[in-house]
């Protein structure tokens, strides 16, 4: 792509060479984009997906799991430090 | 970055293409050609990668040492079938990651952050960074153990690990990175060779599938072995890595079948090579597990050389170097994907370092940080390496819960949502992992504060 762009800069914008390059570039871009799914292109994946709505029970469950995991992790880290001594 | 506006047909505006899109479309065009011309094996060759890398990447230095230690202390009974069951569990989890990545074209961290909010996204990334950093220290330790067998020191281990990270990142293309790491990962088979070299008793291996009751030892030892063996098979980094890598590779729903083959091949190879390390370690059983205590030096390979011959020791030492090196690359990559996804900037091997600065900086940065730790004189490297798997097991349930929630999200997955049977297995895995991790954490803590006796 960059090579094409540099060739384009060398030719006069209205010259036949420029038009051929532009057509070739456009054709090549069309081929490139056809090999990708539309929602696979970076411009599409850069758009965030909408936020999910969690029920209050699901949110409470996730918080309970998170607090539990943090507590157990602290226990493992404490044990690790204790074993070093 | 080249971002030309392109139009496929007059009047139909297409989004701007980035350099990342261009590079990915080259890879996709080969997949489309192979599919059009019904080149089945070539298509498989093109689509394998993330699954094998996740599975063989998890057969890392600390994991192989854990398997070998299990073999050296307890023999083959219980652990041979247990490792096989754990990799079957890993397949179920990793298949979900691959499917989510192929259908949504987005990484795990990105989806959790956007779908459930920044708080949960950053919690997940925090868990991952912590376990990855600790595990990476273990990887450098295992390279050091392998190199020590050849009388080489920590400096060489650090230089080798960092040189590999920089070399594989230099191409600016996912395909190149994946193929180099895949080529290296196949040398995980050295553990199978080590198992053959110790000349195991075939009858003992076959009879181990009777699922012998767990060997003797304290309740805490049993929990430690369960937690560390689970942590050697399923970890948070694998979830982040395979989903992000599947998206980065450009996989689509059409590729899910091959993604399953890829994940299954990885699981089978990893189970065989993991059992290979167990069998090699079991050669030390009759010598009371000699060599485990020498983990910080070249103890294990040396002990194996003493018991089973120089070739077995050399192959095991080379295997440790390979296991550590491959894991450094895959674990650094998972950290880089998570960092790029959470910050919301370019996170692809198909982007140049200039366009994906955070991604490349996190990739190199986390490896540098881990390398710096092993150069600290007197650092408790042995304890860090052995506790890495346990910490991963304790933190894993949260990642698994979000993964199952994403895989059941009809808004994201459409008809690709989990089947009922997959959910049952997934929830069973979460309960099992959570129970083992929590039981070990609580029991060890109560022992440490002397609230219960050993």
What is the tens place of the pLDDT at every residue in A65-78?
Answer: 989 989 999 998 89
Round to whole Å and give the CA distance between B233 and B435: 16
Round to whole Å and give the CA distance between B373 and B50: 29
Structure tokens that stand for B355 in this block: 């366009």
pLDDT at B417 over 70: yes
In a domain, B38, yes or no: no
Length of chain A: 85
Task: Kindly report, residue by residue over B435-445, the tens digit of the pLDDT.
Answer: 888 898 899 89
pLDDT of residue B287: 60
pLDDT of residue B377: 83
Tell me what the mean pLDDT of segment B180-189 comes to.
Answer: 96
**Max avg pLDDT among B6-20, B220-234, B291-305, B420-434:** B420-434
In terms of Cβ atoms closer than 10 Å to its own Cβ (0-12, 13-18, 19+), residue B265 is middle
Round to whole Å and give the CA distance between B4 and B14: 10
pLDDT at B382 over 80: no
- Measured in angstroms, the CA of A68 and the nearest CA of chain B are apart by 9
- Closest to B54 measured CA to CA, from B238, B218, B321: B238
pLDDT at B1 over 50: no
Round to whole Å and give the CA distance between B142 and B385: 8
Number of H helices, E strands in chain A: 4, 0
Domain extent for B185: 47-448
CB-nearest to B252 from A37, A48, A66 is A37
- Measured in angstroms, the CA of A14 and the nearest CA of chain B are apart by 19
In terms of Cβ atoms closer than 10 Å to its own Cβ (0-12, 13-18, 19+), residue B257 is exposed
pLDDT of residue B5: 33
Task: Kindly report, residue by residue over A16-32, the tens digit of the pLDDT.
Answer: 555 666 555 555 666 66
pLDDT of residue A57: 94
In a domain, B251, yes or no: yes
pLDDT at B16 over 90: no
- Closest to B53 measured CA to CA, from B243, B247, B240, B263: B263
pLDDT at B191 over 80: yes
pLDDT band at B11 (very low <50, low <70, confident <90, very high): very low
* Number of Cβ atoms within 10 Å of the Cβ of B392: 33
Look-up of token digits 């259908």: B103
pLDDT of residue B369: 93
Average pLDDT, chain B: 88
In a domain, B323, yes or no: yes
* Number of Cβ atoms within 10 Å of the Cβ of B13: 9
pLDDT band at B361 (very low <50, low <70, confident <90, very high): very high
pLDDT of residue B37: 94
Tell me what the mean pLDDT of segment B312-318 comes to.
Answer: 95
pLDDT of residue B411: 93
- Measured in angstroms, the CA of A62 and the nearest CA of chain B are apart by 8
Structure tokens that stand for B220 in this block: 């805490």
The reply to whether residue A78 touches residue B445, judged by beta carbons under 8 angstroms, is: yes
Residues B161, B322: contact at Cβ < 8 Å?
no
Report the chain B residue with the minimal C-alpha distance to residue A42. Answer: B21
- Closest to B230 measured CA to CA, from B68, B381, B58, B383: B58
pLDDT band at B69 (very low <50, low <70, confident <90, very high): confident
Handedness of CA B248, B252, B257, B260 (dihedral sign): positive
Phi, psi dihedrals of residue B289, rounded to the nearest 5°: 65, 30
* Number of Cβ atoms within 10 Å of the Cβ of B385: 26
Length of chain B: 454
Q: Among the listed ranges B65-69, B248-252, B433-437, B449-453, which one has the minimum average pLDDT value?
A: B449-453
Q: Among the listed ranges A24-38, B378-392, B396-410, which one has the minimum average pLDDT value?
A: A24-38
The reply to whether residue B29 touches residue A43, judged by beta carbons under 8 angstroms, is: no
Round to whole Å and give the CA distance between B28 and B7: 19
* Number of Cβ atoms within 10 Å of the Cβ of A27: 11
Round to whole Å and give the CA distance between B363 and B290: 37
Report the chain A residue with the minimal C-alpha distance to residue B440. Answer: A76
Decide which of A53 and B248 is more confident.
B248
Task: Kindly report, residue by residue over B205-235, the tens digit of the pLDDT.
Answer: 777 777 666 666 677 877 887 887 887 788 8
pLDDT at B151 over 60: yes
pLDDT band at B272 (very low <50, low <70, confident <90, very high): very high
pLDDT of residue B127: 87
The reply to whether residue B411 touches residue A52, judged by beta carbons under 8 angstroms, is: yes
In a domain, B25, yes or no: no
Handedness of CA B251, B252, B253, B254 (dihedral sign): negative
Q: Among the listed ranges B66-75, B238-247, B346-355, which one has the minimum average pLDDT value?
A: B66-75
The CATH code of the domain that includes B288 is 1.20.1740.10
| Beta-bridge partner residues of B13 | B7
- Measured in angstroms, the CA of A66 and the nearest CA of chain B are apart by 7
pLDDT of residue B169: 85
In a domain, B4, yes or no: no
Round to whole Å and give the CA distance between B211 and B105: 41
HSE of B37 in the Cβ direction (CA atoms, 13 Å)? 9
pLDDT at B132 over 60: yes
Decide which of B136 and A21 is more confident.
B136
Look-up of token digits 């192929």: B102
pLDDT at A5 over 70: no
Tell me what the mean pLDDT of segment B351-358 comes to.
Answer: 92
pLDDT at B376 over 70: yes
A9 touches chain B (CB under 8 A): no
A47 touches chain B (CB under 8 A): no
Whole-Å CA distances, B378 to B154, B232, B296, B374, B375? 13, 26, 11, 9, 9
Decide which of B242 and A14 is more confident.
B242
Structure tokens that stand for A53 in this block: 């709505």
pLDDT of residue A1: 34
Number of domains in chain B: 1
Report the chain B residue with the minimal C-alpha distance to residue A48. Answer: B114
Structure tokens that stand for B251 in this block: 């996989």
The reply to whether residue A33 touches residue B111, judged by beta carbons under 8 angstroms, is: no
**Max avg pLDDT among A40-49, B16-25, B183-192:** B183-192
Tell me what the mean pLDDT of segment B24-29 comes to.
Answer: 92
pLDDT of residue A82: 86
Round to whole Å and give the CA distance between B228 and A80: 14
């Amino acid at each position: 792509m960059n090579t094409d762009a540099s060739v384009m800069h060398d030719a006069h914008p209205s010259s036949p060479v420029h038009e051929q390059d532009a057509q070739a570039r456009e054709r090549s871009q069309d081929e490139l984009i056809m090999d990708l799914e539309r929602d696979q292109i970076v411009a599409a994946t850069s758009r965030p997906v909408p936020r999910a709505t969690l029920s209050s029970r699901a949110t409470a469950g996730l918080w309970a799991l998170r607090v539990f995991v943090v507590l157990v992790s602290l226990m493992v880290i404490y044990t690790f430090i204790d074993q070093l001594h | 970055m080249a971002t030309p506006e392109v139009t496929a047909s007059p009047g139909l505006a297409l989004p701007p293409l980035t350099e990342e899109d261009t590079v990915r479309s080259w890879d996709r065009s080969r997949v489309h050609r192979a599919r059009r011309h019904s080149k089945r094996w070539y298509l498989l060759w093109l689509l394998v990668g993330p699954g094998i890398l996740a599975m063989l990447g998890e057969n890392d230095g600390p994991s192989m040492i854990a398997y070998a230690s299990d073999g050296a202390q307890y023999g083959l009974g219980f652990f041979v079938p247990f490792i096989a069951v754990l990799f079957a569990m890993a397949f179920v989890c990793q298949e979900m990651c691959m499917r989510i990545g192929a259908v949504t074209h987005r990484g795990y961290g990105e989806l959790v952050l956007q779908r459930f909010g920044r708080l949960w996204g950053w919690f997940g990334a925090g868990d991952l960074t912590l376990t990855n950093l600790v595990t990476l220290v273990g990887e450098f330790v295992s390279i050091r153990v392998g190199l020590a067998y050849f009388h080489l020191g920590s400096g060489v281990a650090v230089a080798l690990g960092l040189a590999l990270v920089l070399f594989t990142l230099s191409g600016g293309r996912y395909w190149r990175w994946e193929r180099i790491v895949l080529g290296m990962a196949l040398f995980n088979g050295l553990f199978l060779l080590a198992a053959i070299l110790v000349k195991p008793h075939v009858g003992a291996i076959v009879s181990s599938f009777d699922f012998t009751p767990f060997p003797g030892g304290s309740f805490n030892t049993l929990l430690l072995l369960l937690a560390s063996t689970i942590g050697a098979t399923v970890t948070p980094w694998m979830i982040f890595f395979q989903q992000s890598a599947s998206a980065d590779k450009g996989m689509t729903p059409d590729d899910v079948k091959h993604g399953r083959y890829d994940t299954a091949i990885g699981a089978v190879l990893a189970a065989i090579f993991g059992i290979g390390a167990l069998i090699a370690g079991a050669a030390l059983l009759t010598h009371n597990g000699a060599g485990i205590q020498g983990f910080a030096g070249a103890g294990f390979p040396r002990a194996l050389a003493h018991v089973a011959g120089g070739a077995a020791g050399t192959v095991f030492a080379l295997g440790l170097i390979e296991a550590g090196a491959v894991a450094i690359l895959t674990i650094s990559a998972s950290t880089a994907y998570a960092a790029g996804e959470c910050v919301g900037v370019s996170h692809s091997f198909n982007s140049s370092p200039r366009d994906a600065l955070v991604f490349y900086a996190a990739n190199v940065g986390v490896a540098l940080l881990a390398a710096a730790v092993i150069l600290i004189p007197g650092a408790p490297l042995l304890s860090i390496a052995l506790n890495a798997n346990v910490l991963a097991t304790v933190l894993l349930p949260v990642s698994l819960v979000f993964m199952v929630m994403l895989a059941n999200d009809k808004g994201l997955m459409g008809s690709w949502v989990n089947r009922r049977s997959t959910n049952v297995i997934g929830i069973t895995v979460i309960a099992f992992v959570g129970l083992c991790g929590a039981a070990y954490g609580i029991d060890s803590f109560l022992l440490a504060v002397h609230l219960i006796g050993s």
